[in-house]
Amino acid sequence: MAGAEAHIGGLGMNAEETIQVTGARRLVQAEEADLSGSSFTDVNLSGSTFKNVHFAGAEFEDANLSGWSVRNANFSKLEISNADLRGATIVDSLTQGMTIDGIAVAELMAAYRALTAKVD
């Protein structure tokens, strides 16, 4: 449906609804959303933006997340595998328990900080 725009609103943080999207290309912008436990497989979310979104326990597999912009999200126990994260930005977000290709993000960040630490 070219040129169509979908809005899903009116759901409070305590409301639960299953939404299935198949074979569609949409630019996603989510704010104050609870997507915990969701499964994203073979999706293109490139250029999408998320602010104050709860992704705890969600799974991304075979996903294009390039140019993804995320601020203040909960990624605890999030699993990402076989994803394109080029140009993705994640800021001020909880990453405890989050893994990328089975590697804990907290460990990746600690290793990076150790390598780039300045010697006084």
Q: Where are the domains of the chain?
A: 29-113
Question: What mean pLDDT comes out for the span 25-36?
Answer: 83
Torsion angle defined by CA atoms of residues 85, 92, 35 and 49, in that order, rounded to the nearest 10 degrees: -60
Q: What local confidence, expressed as pLDDT, does residue 120 receive?
A: 54
Q: Which amino acid is at 69?
A: S
Asked: is 29-113 a CATH 2.160.20.80 domain? The reply is: yes
Q: What local confidence, expressed as pLDDT, does residue 100 receive?
A: 82
Q: What local confidence, expressed as pLDDT, does residue 88 receive?
A: 94
Question: What mean pLDDT comes out for the span 60-86?
Answer: 93
Give yes or no for a contact between 120 and 100, defined as CB atoms under 8 angstroms apart. Answer: no
pLDDT for 63 beyond 60: yes
What is the spatial distance between Cα 11 and Cα 112, in angstroms, rounded to a whole number? 39
71: confidence class by pLDDT, cuts 50, 70, 90: very high
